[in-house]
Amino acid sequence: MPVDAFPLFDALGATHSLEAIEVFYTLLITFILGMVTANVYRFTHQGFSFQRTFLHTLVLAHIVIAVMIMAIGNNMARGLGILGAMAFIRFRSAVRDPRDVMFLFISLAVGISCGAQVFMVGIMGTLFFGAVCFYLAWAPFASRREFEGLLRFMLPPDSSSRKELDIIFSTYCARTEVVATREAIQGEVIEYSYQIRLIDPTYKTDLVDAIAKLPEAQEVSLVMQRTTVEV
């Protein structure tokens, strides 16, 4: 019976088989692009939980997706079969950083591009994605530095060091704000708590030393703080 008698066969039929050299070049280009993406992640990562295995995952994801796309081709039956098989796999690895999810997505997108042999899309997408990652990592975009530390010290209620203290603050701090004051040592001194933003992060020691040199200053301490901390 002629094939034309089954219109559905054209949609579900066998795809054009790739030559071995085509498969090799496709996988080689995919591997190179995967290494580029992994190195972009490596040099732009700014969190605490850096994992070597995640870099391996990025590279391997490129290759796995490319192999899947080459195997599926334009064969709908293969695509549905692979989709059903993937439905049985449950991925339990928790990705805590949303930025890591974007790197997984670019791995999938580039793998699909290479598997479909649309290499220009994969290459340009990888290069543009990497350039944007470097820009966001090094540019002050979305950075927020309201306060950098909590400064505490004690002074007598009628201290004559207030003017000197103001000079010290103007020398080392871009911004200061009193967050708490309380009596200590049965009212003999007042403990001050300031949130501060330094002009230069290297001024930490200089600021503490300058306040400690005031004749009436006691128990000077500076605790640097972060906006977010990963656990």
Q: Are residues 66 and 129 in the same domain?
A: yes
Final residue before a domain boundary, out of 138, 172, 203: 138
Structural domain span for residue 15: 3-138
Nearest alpha carbon to residue 57 among 105, 24, 96, 25: 105
Amino acid at 195: Q
pLDDT tens-digit map of 6-39? 343 344 444 457 789 999 999 999 999 999 999 9
**173 and 134 in a common domain:** no
Is 81 within the bounds of a domain? yes
Q: Is 203 inside any structural domain?
A: yes
Asked if residue 144 is part of any domain, the answer here is: no
What tokens does 201 get? 């992060």
Interval 60-85 mean pLDDT:
80
Whole-model pTM: value is 0.59
Same domain? 111 vs 209: no
CATH of the domain at 220: 3.30.70.260
* DSSP code, position 1: -
Beta strands in the chain (DSSP E): 149-155, 173-184, 189-198, 218-224
Record the tokens describing residue 153, joined without a space: 């010290």
User: Is 117 in contact with 19 (CB distance < 8 Å)?
Assistant: no
Both 201 and 117 in one domain: the answer is no
Question: Do 80 and 169 belong to one domain?
Answer: no
Residue 16 lies in a domain: yes
Q: pLDDT for 134-149, tens place per residue?
A: 998 888 766 665 567 8
| Domain edge (last residue) among 105, 138, 171 | 138
Q: How far apart are the first and last CA of the chain?
A: 67
What residue type is 193 in one-letter code? S
How many angstroms separate the Cα of 10 from the Cα of each of 5, 6, 169?
10, 8, 78
Tokens of 111: 């793998």
Question: pLDDT over 90 for what percent of the chain?
Answer: 31
Number of domains in the chain: 2
pLDDT in tens, 35-71: 999 999 999 987 666 788 889 999 999 999 999 888 8
Do 27 and 72 fall within a single domain?
yes
Q: Are 23 and 103 within one domain? A: yes
Domain-embedded: residue 17: yes
Q: Do 118 and 167 lie in a common domain?
A: no
